[in-house]
């Protein structure tokens, strides 16, 4: 039986960034499910879809990525989360943030591969 690739739930409100990130993650061999806003992501997580990792934007209308991760952990507490932000500052590039690793947009393919791969191995 062929092993399925890990499934990543991509949560990004900007359609262009979502499309590019989806393509990058698929090129790395992952299956990708998209959510254009946090409420859609929560509905997906509450369902039966297999999800191995959440890849979410930090800044989104209505609920930020950290709040989304907290809500997701109440439903599925073991799913690892990787955050992405387009805002420079102390958050970006912080692999040791208490919520999880934070990538700076635009991400480099090698960094994306490394951070997602490491996050999946930890769980």
- What is the per-residue pLDDT across 53-97, written as a single tens digit (0 to 9) for each? 999 999 999 999 999 999 999 999 999 999 998 875 555 444 555
- The predicted pLDDT at position 1 comes to 60
Q: Are 83 and 58 in contact (CB under 8 A)?
A: yes
Can you give the pLDDT at residue 94?
47
Q: How do residues 10-48 score in pLDDT, each as one tens digit?
A: 999 999 999 999 999 999 999 999 999 999 999 999 999
Band the pLDDT of 3: cuts 50, 70, 90: confident
pLDDT over threshold 90, residue 99: no
Q: How far apart are CA 121 and CA 123, in angstroms?
A: 5
Question: Does 83 or 3 have the greater pLDDT score?
Answer: 83
Q: In the prediction, which pLDDT does 97 show?
A: 52
Domains of the chain, by residue range, sit at: 7-122
pLDDT for the residue numbered 86: 84
Query: Residue 62 has which token pair?
Result: 């209505």
- For every residue of the chain, which 3-state class applies, written as one string? CCCCCCEEEEECCCHHHHHHHHHHHHHCCCEEEEECCHHHHHHHHHCCCCCCEEEEECCCCCCCHHHHHHHHHHHCCCCCEEEEECCCCCCCCCCCCCCCCEEECCCCHHHHHHHHHHHHHHC
11 has which bridge partners?
Answer: 35, 56
User: Superfamily for 7-122?
Assistant: Response regulator (3.40.50.2300)
């Amino acid at each position: 039986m062929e092993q399925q690739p890990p499934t990543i739930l991509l949560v990004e409100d900007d359609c262009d960034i979502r499309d590019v990130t989806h393509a990058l993650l698929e090129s790395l061999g992952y299956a990708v499910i998209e959510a254009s806003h946090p409420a859609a992501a929560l509905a997906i997580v509450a369902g039966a879809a297999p999800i191995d990792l959440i890849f979410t934007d930090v800044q989104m209308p209505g609920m930020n990525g950290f709040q989304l991760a907290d809500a997701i952990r109440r439903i599925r507490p073991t799913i690892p989360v990787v955050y992405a932000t387009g805002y420079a500052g102390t958050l970006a590039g912080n692999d040791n943030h208490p919520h999880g690793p934070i990538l700076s947009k635009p991400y480099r393919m090698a960094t994306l591969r490394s951070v997602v791969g490491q996050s999946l191995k930890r769980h």
